[in-house]
Structure 1
Amino acid sequence: MAIDSGGGGGCSGSGSGAKKQRLVELDDRCEAVESDAIRADRISALPEELRLHVLTDLPLKDAIRTGALARGWRDLWKRRWAHRASLKVHLCSRDDPRRELDALAREPRPRRRLERFSLIVDTSYLKSSEFQRFLDYATECGVEDLHVETQSRSTTAAAKLKFHLPLSSPALARLSLRDIPVSMFYKGAQQPFQALEVIRLVSVSFRSEAFTKMMALCPNLLTLDLRLCRCNGYGWVFNRLPPNLRSLTIARCDRITSLDFVRVPTLRSFRYYGCPSNLPFSIPRDAVLSDLYIQLYSYDPVPMKEWNIDKLRKSLPEDLSSLGVLTICYKALTGASVLPADGASAQLTNFNLHSLKELHLRMLEMKAVNLSNLYLFLKTFQCPNLERLFVQICAHGRFY
């Protein structure tokens, strides 16, 4: 019997050739569709210089999204900044302010957009008018991330500079200030800063009216970080915070008269370092915290009995089942010992720490009583999903 091997092979080759032909035709059709899409996207047909201008004038988030339009936009994104995307001005000598301002004045108009502008003042020779010109330049560039810091050893020189939020900064998304007073804002009507989402202030002094007005002008603020800040006048009042705030840090801020956050149900992260006499907090009872940090002054004159589990229970939300990271100091840990272990759980129904994965303990020392409090805490507030336990022996006054 003769076996015709060519017939089977011929059929197999024919099938493979047909598949290849179909793939080629499919690729041609895809290329044609992509070509039609590119032709339909008329803005992508603009000259590169115009497309670069469009890209640099867009807010950062929208500029990133243009990469989904076509490959040409993604390639353009890699070289979108023919000029600097950020600018850092560090003033150290008497002549620096004039030289830097002259250089900025020579730049062509309209100004190119800046993602970040950082101004560090380390000289006592900067005039208030010159300081304001730097801020005006940042505003003209539509800056999204603004950082202002003074490092002058002369407190008198630093005090003469006062920060005013620019009148028109629609793109401003992040504001960071350090060692500079914030004055009363401009009187009269002022447009709110709809894009401002993050404010970080270190060693900044306010009047209470200025702080209240700042919060009113930032309706979409998500993160507020206050460290070593001073509030003159009636002191800090936190009952008018932006309604969508998600992260709040208050560390070593003087003259706190109220820790009332009941109007911020969206709070997810709360960090506090301060005096136990300011307790209890007033965190919304329906807030869903995922990160909680509590550290109390070790040198505070308030007797330890004033800091107890009942105050802590009243300070926190009703449900802590979503809490993933908890950081507490030895004073808060000591509070667990004021109630008998068998009755603590019944009185602390909101201390459901079943989702807790990280527990950070900040201790001044480790003695037998500290180990006993740690044992009682873990026994009382059982944490079945705890993965990491950190015990840190920290110096006085340090905040993570």
Structure 2
Amino acid sequence: MVKLCPGLRILELLYCCHLTEITIAQPGLKRNLRRLTVAGTPALSHQVFEEWFRNTLPLLSNVTVLTICSNTLQIVSSLRDAGANAEVANLQSLRELQLLMFELTAPDLGNIFVFLKSYQRPNLRKLVVQLPTNSASPEDFLGLLQEEQPELGLDNLEVEAHQRPELADTVQLGSAAQAGQTT
């Protein structure tokens, strides 16, 4: 699809209902791609995402902004839980990570923590977690955040509050929680 665009810097694959495969084989694309978004792609199977995380993501070390959805985070956790020897992506250039959460359950929070602990991202400055809008009530999130949160090494993270007003003071992740700020 993008073979004729080796200098492509931004690739967004959003709501591609019939997309069944993602392959980034063009060497120039791997080197130049800075922003990658994959979300709302229900036809991508678990196996496709597994192969993508193992084979493609490690090659995209120049990506500065990465947007993934909660379904993708489930794949990362399943790879780690199964003891798979997936090569850990070197996301040295990553400055912004956007997580689109279609639902937020205890396993989803666990998947976020697994992703943050699994991937090298020393230059991460901005973590955006888009919360679901279809929650029955703000209290749904309260029980999820009572567990002790692991140290994530997010010392360079700048925290901004972008959430529904009724959830203010309830959703905190990583170093933001320790600093008493909301994410």
TM range (shorter): 0.5 to 0.7
**Aligned residue in 2 for 1:321:** 61
Amino acid paired to 2:68? I
Contact 1:263 1:284 (8 Å CA) reproduced: no
Amino acid paired to 1:362? L
Residue 283 (str. 1) matches residue 24 (str. 2): yes
- 1:65-88 CA-partner distances (Å, limit 9, x unpaired): xxxxxxxxxxxxxxxxxxxxxxxx
Amino acid paired to 2:92? H
Residue 380 (str. 1) matches residue 118 (str. 2): yes
**Aligned residue in 1 for 2:152:** none
**Aligned residue in 1 for 2:176:** none
- Shift of the alpha carbon at 1:303? 8.6
The structure that is strand-richer by fraction is: 1
Greater relative CO, 1 or 2 (CA 8 Å, sep 6+): 2
**Aligned residue in 2 for 1:334:** 74
Q: Which runs of 4+ in 1 moved over 6 A?
A: none
Matches within 5 A, 1:125-144: none
**Aligned residue in 1 for 2:87:** 348
- 1:1-47 CA-partner distances (Å, limit 9, x unpaired): xxxxxxxxxxxxxxxxxxxxxxxxxxxxxxxxxxxxxxxxxxxxxxx
| TM-score, normalisation: structure 2 | 0.59
The CA distance in 1 between the partners of 2:25 and 2:60, in whole Å, is 12
Secondary structure at the aligned position of 2:111 is classed as helix
Matches within 5 A, 1:181-260: 260=1
Indicate the RMSD between aligned Cα atoms, in angstroms. Answer: 2.9
- Shift of the alpha carbon at 1:264? 2.5
**Aligned residue in 1 for 2:171:** none
Residue 310 (str. 1) matches residue 51 (str. 2): yes
Contact 1:327 1:361 (8 Å CA) reproduced: yes
Q: Which one of 97, 102, 105 corresponds to residue 364 of structure 1?
A: 102
Contact 1:307 1:331 (8 Å CA) reproduced: no
Larger Rg: 1
The CA distance in 1 between the partners of 2:4 and 2:58, in whole Å, is 15
- Shift of the alpha carbon at 1:318? 6.0
- 1:84-127 CA-partner distances (Å, limit 9, x unpaired): xxxxxxxxxxxxxxxxxxxxxxxxxxxxxxxxxxxxxxxxxxxx
Matched residues, percent identical? 32
- 1:158-203 CA-partner distances (Å, limit 9, x unpaired): xxxxxxxxxxxxxxxxxxxxxxxxxxxxxxxxxxxxxxxxxxxxxx
Q: Aligned residues, how many?
A: 131
- Shift of the alpha carbon at 1:320? 1.6
**Aligned residue in 1 for 2:138:** none
